[in-house]
Chain A
Amino acid sequence: MSESSGPLPLRVATVADDADRAALERIARDELGALDDLYERYKTMAYSIAYRITNDAALAEDVVQEAFLGVWRNASRYVEGRGSVKTWLLSIVHHRAIDAVRRRRATVDLPERDDAPPPALRLPDLWGEVAANLDADEVRAALASLSDVQREALELAYFGGLTQTEIAERTGTPLGTVKSRMRLGLLAMREMLSP
């Protein structure tokens, strides 16, 4: 297991980043066509993430709609130094989707959170840039190489929207073990995906 390392290297800006920023500036000027542009670029990723989390086509549509409308209404709040527009947009999708499934479960200790970002995503998304150019097959292979229980813990947390306590309850596993599985799973993936 890697015990190393420090932050992974950041990717360089791409032509797509520039185009995305230009689109966002146009959205901030209320240009509907720019929203259309952004949607065309990221509709597949956005919908795929939303569907993966909600497992409900109608709910996934609602999530994607809310996310793009969030961008439409808050384009001026984007901060370039925090990462790419794509990162920003897809983080909103993830956040909305997690909120949607948590509301669906009616978890008692999860109140409405308005437009607050997803808990895991409130940290600087410079982290996220490392993943931007990863190949999907690479990531799937890395996930597949984890132990079943590590992969299960990561997926229940990130795609299932479960808290560590809920994961422990669902899997019948001590909380400390759940924490350990998530940490070791992330570190193992980091080692496999590092350049």
Chain B
Amino acid sequence: MTDQRPPGDLPGGEPGGLTCDEVRDLAASFVLGALTDSEMDAVREHLADCPETHDEFAELGAVVPALDAAVPLMEPPSGLRDRILAVAAADLDARRQVDASSAAPAPPVAAARTVAPRAAEPVGPSDVEPVAGPTPAAEPISIESARRRRPLTWLAGIAAVLAIVLLGAWNLSLQGQLNAAQTYQQQVASVLSAASQPGALTAVLAPPSGQGPNGIAAVTSDGKMRIAMRDLAPTTGDEVYEAWMILPNTPPAPVGGLTVGSDGSGFIEAGGVPAQPGLVLALTREPRPGMTAPSGDPVSVGTTTSTENSTG
């Protein structure tokens, strides 16, 4: 499989439709990821079936992960950790809820496999695992430091509690429940993403009395607002839920609306909202879109506060 194909000759019996020479020509681009998906697949197919070892891939590929070591180091925003843990917690709760709802026992989590490292392994995709890749430069690691457990901050707590309450309230089919959980999880993650930005404000929206819709909102310093809500009654016809911002001594101003399906969750993203602590956010159910003033009492209300004074 080493002969070069004459120009114009269509791919035939060559692995991946490529000759060995053609694959060698693509090796550098392949290890750098600089091919289209179809080209990558063709090379992979060739490597899987070709009896030649194609050492050029190992020779060139060995260097690629070193490129990560050249990256200037930057610390991520402090809120990112909370966001990741909050979403992971919500994900875990969703899985547990689904498991609990299922008649069949949940499949056991497979333990990490312990395959002995092999120093000389054929290069090829046939036994490639879903993810494998480069190793950036080593960084100092304090194991003891890394093992320290930290309590979840308020942000993680809010997301986890919301997810738990949400999931407990839902009475959907298993798949529907999972889909709804994932949807709400993504919405909460989006709000937390905004909440983690410097200068952002957050608000927990809750019904004025008793049970009802609740959720979480974030307003960034540039006036963008996201609200994730759950337990909303589905809208019908032209009905919408409208979000209002209420500044002191100022009539409510509409900031965005949404319709709600059977899953009861809703998400609003809008701009032009002042990042001002004490701003009241309210959600009302309106007979139609475009209302300039609330037609009834709010179903859920919250007041923005600064996250910087609350994170731990």
Contact = CB atoms under 8 A, between A and B. Distances in A.
11 contacts: A24-B112, A77-B129, A87-B132, A90-B135, A115-B130, A120-B61, A120-B64, A126-B118, A131-B62, A131-B66, A179-B26
Interface in A117-141: 117-136, 138-140
Contacts of B135: 83-84, 86-87, 90, 125, 128-132
B55 A6 contact: yes
A113 B138 CA distance: 29
Nearest to B189: A65
Given A28-B110, A182-B28, A6 B59 contact: yes
Interface in B58-77: 58-77
A190 B62 contact: yes
Contacts of B111: 25, 28, 76
A149 interface: no
Contacts of A100: none
Interface of A: 5-8, 10, 15-16, 19, 21, 23-25, 28-30, 32-33, 35-49, 51-52, 57-58, 60-62, 64-65, 68-70, 72-84, 86-88, 90-92, 94-95, 98, 109-111, 113, 115-136, 138-140, 142-143, 154, 156-159, 161-165, 167, 179, 182-183, 186-187, 189-190, 193
Tell which of B34, B80, B121, B124 has the most Cβ of chain A within 10 Å: B34
A127 B149 contact: no
B44 interface: yes
Contacts of A41: 141, 146
Contacts of A5: 59
B128 interface: yes
The main secondary structure of chain A at its interface with chain B is helix
B76 A131 contact: no
Contacts, number: 344
Question: How large, as a class, is the contact surface on chain B?
Answer: 35 or more
Contacts of B71: 45, 48-49, 52
Contacts of A110: 36-37
A117 B59 contact: no
Nearest to B39: A163
B33 A65 contact: no
Contacts of B88: 32, 35, 68-69, 72
